[in-house]
Amino acid sequence: MTSGSMTGSAGTGGAGERPARVRYAPSPTGDPHVGNIRTAVWAWLHARHTGGQFIVRIEDTDQARKIEGSVERILGSLEWLGLDWDEGPDIGGPFGPYVQSERLPLYHEAVERLLASRDAYRCFCTAEELDAMRERQRAEKRPPGYEGKCRAIPPTEAEERAKSEPHVIRFAVPDEGTTVCHDLLRGRIEVENSTLDDFVILKSDRYPTYHLAHVVDDHAMEITHVTRGDEWIPSMPRHCLLFDALGYERPIFVHTSIILAPGGGKLSKRHGAKSMLEYAEDGYLPDAVFNFLCITGWGYGDETVMSRQQLIDVFEIENIGLNPATFDMEKLTWMNGVYIRQTPVEELSEMIARRLEVELPPDVPRPVDRALVEAVTPLIQERIQTLAEVTPLIDFFWQSEIAPPPPEEFLQKRWKDRASDAASALERVAAATEEVEPFEAGPLEERMRSLCEELEVKAGDLFTLIRIAVTGRRVSPPLFESMEIVGRGVCVDRLRAASASLAAVSAP
């Protein structure tokens, strides 16, 4: 039996600069939530900051909770965020395999050692017996937990029974003493061993529990830092007991706080608790999300927008905040706009093209005309905060015909009840558009401004008519630049079509 009072050999202070081996160890039970991914961001940054390794390990020992396709989506999320891994399920590495269900012999070997040293024992209690025990504990208002009945079975008898009886293996927690653990952010955490029950380390299906599996793996994979959510703090003493009983050096534990919704409370989908792949669909740039997640709960002075390299340079894992951070969706969207404006036009236009490929109506020929995308991109780069805004803003460039917008679209404010005025104004615009030379934004605007004077109409009022006629909408990229791209012929056709539809309204 291991002594109950102990202090870890690691985790007592600063991370130092020795290359860290940090792992991200998701269970394939669905898409990882943002809090979980933020921990991966920090783990990755710590690995890169120290020149160490970032390792991905799939923790699939709870076979019942496995969701098909999860691993692909988890890896896809990391890839999208630019969190590259040095070892992992798909690429292998010196400590593979990196999927726990493929490492069962390692856990069985650890269990044998713990049985031999009497740090573990076989438990034959049936589900009914355990239920009855829990019931009793409830009735007597005692804390739940296994009471150690099977600990008393002599090992040779247990061996014999194990040949035919289903059973689990439990860790024998010392009855007395305390277990002292260290968390890099929280310092010393101490518990009385008497408050810990003999927890299961190997289930009856011969799969290990998380507790055992991650201890064995973190040791075998030479992990230096266990970064994970603070929901694992209550289990940490058990893990420390396991590390010690197996004679393994403890890693440095870094438990990160949760992310809260604005105003406190659980983060809901509306507040940003979406998967990474949904952020991709919603038009966020990976670099912006990466930057945002990093500074949600960690900070470097008042800096907000920082490049990946800057973050790698200045990230100090010790400075992760203990107070739960609030998820500020508005800030993320603002930051995304900043990143969009910083993106070189060619790169942004490629991103835009990829969205258009998916989102434009099927009658638009594919591949989408790249030269046109490159011409349009500078018109909207300053105006959008997410890529989701793009298609509705610019799809008219790809439509050879747009149905003339309904007359009521035009007949507002200045043009209310003045369909015939609007029709003739648009006819004048069409004529001017036919003549203006060269057909470029500058001369077009100049010509339209003088037409405003001739018609005694405010620029805003006339331009609204033109905008609706040419683009089919009230909000568009800059009007005259758009007209230049759409081309003279199409502009004239659309202006005449709109004029005709308004004339029809005004006809007696």
CA distance readout (Å), 483 to 209, 261, 401, 487: 65, 44, 14, 6
User: Could you say which of 6, 15, 20, 25 contacts ligand GLU (CB under 6 A)?
Assistant: 25
Which region, judged by CB under 6 A, interacts with ligand GLU, from 226-234, 281-289, 292-300, 418-426? Answer: 226-234
**CB neighbour class for 13 (10 Å; exposed up to 12, middle 13-18, buried from 19):** exposed
Closest CB to ligand GLU among 151 and 255?
Answer: 255
The yes-or-no answer on residue 269 being catalytic is: yes
21 touches ligand GLU by CB under 6 A: no
Cα dihedral angle (143, 146, 147, 153), rounded to 10 degrees? 180
**What φ, ψ does residue 168 adopt, rounded to 5°?**
-120, 170
Shortest Cβ distance from residue 89 to ligand GLU (Å)? 13
239 touches ligand GLU by CB under 6 A: no
59 touches ligand GLU by CB under 6 A: yes
**What φ, ψ does residue 416 adopt, rounded to 5°?**
-60, 130
Closest CB to ligand GLU among 40 and 158?
Answer: 40
Q: Which residue is nearest to ligand GLU (CB)?
A: 228
Residue corresponding to tokens 């940490």: 236
Closest CB to ligand GLU among 103 and 214?
Answer: 214
Cα 381 to Cα 385: distance, rounded to the nearest angstrom: 9
User: Could you say which of 33, 46, 49, 214 contacts ligand GLU (CB under 6 A)?
Assistant: 214
Residue corresponding to tokens 């959510």: 229
Closest CB to ligand GLU among 66 and 308?
Answer: 66
Of the candidates 266, 269, 416, 458, the residue annotated as catalytic is: 269
Cα 380 to Cα 392: distance, rounded to the nearest angstrom: 12
**Sign of the CA dihedral with 454 first, then 459, 460, and 464 last:** positive
53 touches ligand GLU by CB under 6 A: no
Shortest Cβ distance from residue 214 to ligand GLU (Å)? 5
174 touches ligand GLU by CB under 6 A: no
Q: Would you say 130 and 149 are in contact if contact means Cβ atoms under 8 Å apart?
A: no
Give the total of residues touching ligand GLU (CB under 6 A).
9
228 touches ligand GLU by CB under 6 A: yes
127 Cβ neighbours under 8 A, 6+ residues apart: none
Sites of contact with ligand GLU (CB under 6 A)? 25-27, 59, 210, 214, 226, 228, 232
Catalytic site residues? Answer: 269
